[in-house]
Amino acid sequence: MNRIVLLLTLFFSLSCKAQTNIINIPERCNHLPLQTDNGSLYLKDITNIYAPYVGTWKWSSGNKEMTLVLLKQNKYHYNNNTDNYYQDRLVGYYIYKENGVVIADTSGDDLQSDFGISVYFGISCSSKVNTGVFIDVKKEKMISVGLEILSPTQMKFDGDIDQHSSYINGDKQRTLYSGSTFPLNMVFTKQ
């Protein structure tokens, strides 16, 4: 009888240790610092905060147009240096055109990568708006972007050129470009 109790206790202890610690993405700010070293943490979109953003969005003004495609990736595994955890995330790509000519197209990005993605969003601890990074591939700049759902079919895009960080183009000599390739304030319509 003692052996059975001991085996059940050992089994229960090991199974508890192997469980994943699931945190709803908006609640992660209440759990800082996050323990991310053993791969058992999962920042999950339990309340579907990313759902309204997923899809194809378009903006146009005169001869300029931009298409933004946002996708939700479930249980994406971050595993580099000291980070080892899972997270649902919002990634995507954009295509910007003027006079029908493609000026910037990031649809070839490897959306399974940790780094080098041109479009990445997450929920900020200080805001309920989806905030993220856009890389202006033409001007080689990082742009901080906030997305705000205005209605089921309208989304506000509010960008700001990041003054303290820039897109690095390998070891090549860089040209510093002024401005941005596309407007930094747009209202997209869901397609």
Q: Quick one: pLDDT at residue 191?
A: 97
**Arithmetic mean of pLDDT, 153-166:** 83
The residue with tokens 């000026």 is 103
Query: What's the predicted TM-score (pTM) here?
Result: 0.79
**By 3-state DSSP, what share of the chain in percent is helix, strand and coil, each rounded to 5?**
15, 50, 35
In whole angstroms, how far apart are CA 176 and each of 36, 87, 149? 37, 34, 33
Handedness of CA 24, 119, 165, 37 (dihedral sign): positive
**Interval 13-33 mean pLDDT:** 65
Q: Tell me if 107 sits within 8 A of 91, measured CB to CB.
A: no
Mean pLDDT of the chain: 81
Please give the tally of structural domains in the chain.
1
Which range of residues forms the domain containing residue 61? 2-190
DSSP H helical segments within the chain, as ranges?
2-18
73 within 8 A of 89, measured Cβ to Cβ: yes
Q: Which two tokens stand for residue 122?
A: 């997450």
Place of tokens 């000519």: 101
- pLDDT tens figures, 91-106: 999 999 999 999 999 9
Structure tokens at 29: 């700010």
Residue 15 makes CB contacts below 8 A (sequence gap 6+) with none
Q: In this predicted model, which residue has the larger pLDDT, 158 or 174?
A: 158
> What Å distances lie between residue 48 and 22, 84, 86, 122, 138, CA to CA?
14, 23, 16, 13, 33
Under the banding of pLDDT at 50, 70 and 90, the label for residue 10 is very low
Say if residues 147 and 156 touch (Cβ distance below 8 Å). Answer: yes
Question: What pLDDT digit, counting tens, does each position of 56-80 carry?
Answer: 999 999 999 999 999 999 999 888 7
Q: 7 pLDDT exceeds 50? A: no
- What residues form DSSP beta bridges with 132? 121, 145
- Of the candidates 37, 43, 89, 92, which has an alpha carbon nearest to the alpha carbon of residue 66? 92
pLDDT per position as a tens digit, 39-56: 688 989 999 999 999 999
